[in-house]
Copies of this chain bind each other. A is one copy, B any other.
Amino acid sequence: MDSLGIGALARKAGVRIDTVRYYERSGLLAPKSRLPSGYRRYGLGELARLRFIRRAQGLGFSLREIRELLALSRGRDVARVKRTAQAKLADVEARIAALQRVREGLATLIAACPGHGDAADCPILQALGGEGPGASQLPHSPEPGAER
């Protein structure tokens, strides 16, 4: 029978047994059935679902979002799946843009720092430690709290 115990399932998906049970508690992955003893049994569908969960996490989806994605796919609502993916894409792009601004700021500071001499001449320390309005050479980016 191509039915798996929780250990075999976890090994095939590369996760810990506890993680499988955690996903079950979180409403993401239920066993196909249970033995009279209570042992969980999983089929290939559950294995695919577990792999889906891991891949989606790798793309930056939270478990909550993955739960929504799974519900959408069960509902055959392709339009909403696409919209969700688009929203995630926009999120990823915003994060890239913010990091690119920080990269520019850091690169500028590093280029201007002689790497020796007095600390007062180090633009990195000036920008960071500043007494003034602070980090004025660093970009303005979404502060935490302004979060989605």
Interface residue ranges, A against B (CB under 8 Å) = 14-15, 44-45, 47-49, 51-52, 54-60, 69-70, 72-76, 78-79, 81-82, 85-86, 88-89, 92-93, 95-96, 98-103, 105-107, 109-110, 113-119, 121-122, 124-125, 127-135, 138, 140-146
Task: Determine the main DSSP class of A at the interface with B.
Answer: helix
Query: In the complex, what distance in Å separates the CA atom of A29 from the CA atom of B106?
Result: 22
Query: In the complex, what distance in Å separates the CA atom of A70 from the CA atom of B48?
Result: 44
Query: In the complex, what distance in Å separates the CA atom of A15 from the CA atom of B110?
Result: 28
Query: In the complex, what distance in Å separates the CA atom of A75 from the CA atom of B119?
Result: 8
Query: In the complex, what distance in Å separates the CA atom of A141 from the CA atom of B88?
Result: 15
Give 23 CB contacts A-B under 8 Å. Answer: A48-B130, A48-B133, A48-B135, A49-B134, A54-B143, A57-B143, A58-B102, A58-B146, A69-B128, A73-B125, A73-B128, A73-B129, A75-B119, A78-B118, A78-B119, A78-B125, A81-B113, A81-B124, A82-B110, A82-B122, A85-B124, A89-B103, A99-B99
